[in-house]
Amino acid sequence: MDFIDFYHDPEQTIMGSIENAPPFLVGHRAMTDKELEGLSLREFADPNSRQFPIASRAETWRSIAYFNHQAQTLVAKQALLSPESAAEREKTRQLLAKAAQLWDLDDDEVVKLSEHVNLGLHTAEAEEVTPGPGITFNGQFVPVTGTTAPDTAADFLQHAPKMDRGVCRDTAGALLKAAESVGAELPLETKHELQVRAGEGTCTAGEAATILFKAVPHIPHKAEIHDTLSRLRTALDLTPPSRVLKKASVDRIAALLQKAGDHFVVPHVAESLEALRTITPAVLMSGVGAVRDTVKLPGGIRASKAKITSNASYLSTWLANTHKAEAHKPDDIVTELQKLTPVDLLPLREHIGG
């Protein structure tokens, strides 16, 4: 099923079935063919087919209404679609959602758009579909590609706080695996948050002790789990607070804390479970990358290899003019910089990242 917008609906049959149009649409004049052709690709939610214009508040609302109407029809028919088609439709939905925020739209049609989050594949009973990497989200399969992974992750994280914790954990883990399998580059912060949701991180003994210190008083003394958590808290108090706990230890603490939250009124359990995962693989890799990028210069100055490499031409010329030093390659430039005094290096702070 191919989606169409207002300008590809000759009889405006879809528009006739859309109710509750806002006042600002009533007096809105449809664009001429010339005006439509004059829009840039960035002014369409579906730039590939130049459909669903988002160049104004009224055009964005009408595009959203058209998308919603056809999405509802798709769900009703349980249409069979390829992973590629589902991915493209999800990309259009996400651009419409961003445009709604830009134009400050928040009515029923915008709410309905969020209900179609990751409108994915519908598997027909008579046919078997083998989709590519993806996740099951809101009861529907969502394909994950190298292009769509960041936006899919952002959508999931937006809904994650309202999801069942177990479902949320499993979905986050599946999304990470799917993104990795297609070679998708997720922003560091997004990857970290997904790993927190998936329960892949750990924390220090001090952080864990603080979390248990706040939770234990809310558990009845006669409860068996109270004694277990109390003993854990005592053991953590005897551990150097900066020591990073093994993931298996944190998993045990998290399981007990979640069990306590399921049976007793323990405040802020969800936040506590997240706090137990402050040190994720993404954070650790970021730290390793930062260390590898660091160059130590005289006077305790720390520079960036990446910054020096990007400014190699300038630094090479500067060294030749001020210190008669021949250095063109980044490693050679670093060697020459390490021969200078902290005062000599002051004018270069902007170019070396120090």
Residue closest to 120 by CA, chosen among 142, 95, 148: 142
More confident residue, 88 or 75: 88
- Residue 82: the pLDDT is 59
Is the predicted pLDDT of residue 194 greater than 70, yes or no? yes
Q: What are 204's strand-pairing partners?
A: 244
Confidence of residue 315 (pLDDT cuts 50, 70, 90): very high
Give the separation between CA 163 and CA 12, rounded to whole angstroms. 38
Place of tokens 């980044």: 330
C-alpha dihedral (338, 342, 345, 349), degrees to nearest 10:
110
Average pLDDT over residues 250-256: 94
241-260 in b/e form (b: 16+ CB < 10 A) is: eeeebebebbeebbebbbeb
| Count of C-beta atoms within a 10 Å radius of residue 236 | 23
Q: CA angle, 101 as apex, 100 and 103 as ends, to 5°?
A: 65
User: Which amino acid, residue 224?
Assistant: E
For residues 78 and 122, the answer to whether their CB atoms sit within 8 Å is: yes
- Residue 127: the pLDDT is 40
The pLDDT tens digits of the residues spanning 176-185 come to 999 998 889 8
- Residue 124: the pLDDT is 38
Quick one: which H or E segment has residue 154? helix 149-159
Q: What are 296's strand-pairing partners?
A: 302
Average pLDDT over residues 195-213: 93
The pLDDT tens digits of the residues spanning 255-291 come to 999 999 989 999 998 889 988 999 999 888 877 666 6
Q: Global pTM? A: 0.50
The pLDDT tens digits of the residues spanning 112-150 come to 887 776 565 444 333 444 456 888 776 677 888 888 999
